[in-house]
Structure 1
């Protein structure tokens, strides 16, 4: 999809902002009242880590100009990152965003963002499988917080050419789920599996992958709506809460 830039609606002086998700394959920006402002190939990103921020800065300056106008005063950026992104990576991304001049930069991990967009029914523990281009993450959420997570530096970009089998990625993902189960003394993973596993990321669109994963785990998979953009859309929902209630829209603290 191409890039679209729009001025955000609302009278002068209102709190404004956008949600940002820099993935291994695509960089996506979402803004209240405008939807997806940008969905473009990522600049140099390796396994979820930005290796050169110059292309991203160029894109973000354009988006910020459309979103913030002449002033970044009273603005918020909701920055989405992998669940197990290390502190160095998270701080590097925050520095890049702060250069745009927003008043506040708030971080949220991709699993909680995807869960916010999916609206998990009934409450209780939730298992989120994120099948990305360069990373695969399995995360256990309990009461909206990260209880435990696993990461593999493998993703859709590592799959064979079209027509090839995704079994290696299926086995890797299933092994991470089972490792979470074995490490869980509370039974939360068992409860999450019974409810159905939320699958997000571009890999959720690969039926050859998800059908094999469901069979391997012996559970029901719940595919996120528009899974490739569910994290940035969920981050956008959290952002909208922050814009309506400044200071009260921060996502729950991580427990890891």
Structure 2
């Protein structure tokens, strides 16, 4: 929320049978009803009952299919907002990294709990992407010493595949600059050090990697609100 920062679900752990709702798994909405209730609670707390002049920004995994993006957009539209902006998580992470990152090629490596994604951005737009449907949570049973090598191999395989299909040297240029690491897995120094060694280049941690996507999405939202005219008959700041 502009001016209010991060606003979580005001009623955590309110799922069926008193359990925690997990309506999104592997970057997909698997329980639309639960997801709608969760979004409704957040909208009530953040926006109040009148949402006719509100804008919501939605970030999604880069390779989320059209049907998953449409399902998310439908849920958000059902909240009564004026506009829904949809963008990829990699573009949001790049926005959080700063304006200097939107010009040339940029690799965003997102080490999430349930997904691992590598995205090549050129001029701020997605040029190529790879996704593994596994993340840090899937590796909980491993020997902790093995986690960096497993994640490192996954990321290296995806970047190698992108390199083979890159005809313009964008991957090489992005590696020379250094990939930006996002997601909770980027908070582990053993993982980041191992990645730097395997890639043979420096890696750059986003500021607070676990929240960089939501903060970047918030920056994009704030820019949209600044450029948006106030509707007739209303005063004050759009939401």
Asked if Structure 1 and Structure 2 have the same fold, meaning a TM-score greater than 0.5 normalized by the shorter chain, the answer is yes
Q: TM-score, normalised by structure 1?
A: 0.80
Measure how far apart 1:60 and its partner are. 1.7
Q: How many residues align?
A: 217
Measure how far apart 1:242 and its partner are. 0.9
**Counterpart residue number, 1:64:** 43
**Counterpart residue number, 1:13:** none
**Counterpart residue number, 1:211:** 193
Q: Deviations over 1:153-205 (max 9, x none)?
A: 11111114362411222101111011111111101110100001100011101
**Counterpart residue number, 2:72:** 93
Are 2:121 and 1:141 equivalent residues in the alignment?
yes
Q: How far apart, CA to CA, are the structure 2 residues paired with 1:158 and 1:60?
A: 26
**Secondary structure of 2:110's match?**
strand
Measure how far apart 1:53 and its partner are. 2.5
1:191-202 equivalence runs, <5 A: 191-202=173-184
Measure how far apart 1:223 and its partner are. 0.4
Q: How far apart, CA to CA, are the structure 2 residues paired with 1:46 and 1:70?
A: 29
The answer to whether the 8 Å contact 1:110/1:231 transfers is yes
Measure how far apart 1:66 and its partner are. 2.6
User: Where does the alignment leave 5 or more consecutive residues of structure 2 unmatched?
Assistant: 13-19, 230-239
Are 2:229 and 1:243 equivalent residues in the alignment?
no
**Counterpart residue number, 2:26:** 47
1:55-204 equivalence runs, <5 A: 55-119=34-98, 121=100, 123-161=103-141, 163-166=144-147, 167-204=149-186
Q: How far apart, CA to CA, are the structure 1 residues paired with 2:146 and 2:32?
A: 34
The answer to whether the 8 Å contact 1:43/1:53 transfers is no
| Cα gap change, 1:90 to 1:200, in 2 (>3 Å) | same
Q: Which moved more, 1:164-173 or 1:79-88?
A: 164-173
**Secondary structure of 1:37's match?**
coil
Q: Deviations over 1:210-232 (max 9, x none)?
A: 11111111111000001111001
**Secondary structure of 2:146's match?**
coil
Measure how far apart 1:65 and its partner are. 1.6
Q: How far apart, CA to CA, are the structure 2 residues paired with 1:160 and 1:62?
A: 31
The structure whose residues are more often strand, as a share, is 1
Q: How far apart, CA to CA, are the structure 1 residues paired with 2:6 and 2:39?
A: 13
| Cα gap change, 1:154 to 1:38, in 2 (>3 Å) | same
**Secondary structure of 1:112's match?**
helix
Measure how far apart 1:78 and its partner are. 0.2
Q: Which moved more, 1:160-169 or 1:97-106?
A: 160-169
Q: How far apart, CA to CA, are the structure 2 residues paired with 1:42 and 1:191?
A: 42
Measure how far apart 1:35 and its partner are. 0.4
The answer to whether the 8 Å contact 2:7/2:46 transfers is no
**Secondary structure of 2:79's match?**
coil
| Cα gap change, 1:120 to 1:214, in 2 (>3 Å) | farther
Measure how far apart 1:45 and its partner are. 2.5
Q: How far apart, CA to CA, are the structure 2 residues paired with 1:38 and 1:164?
A: 33
RMSD: 1.7
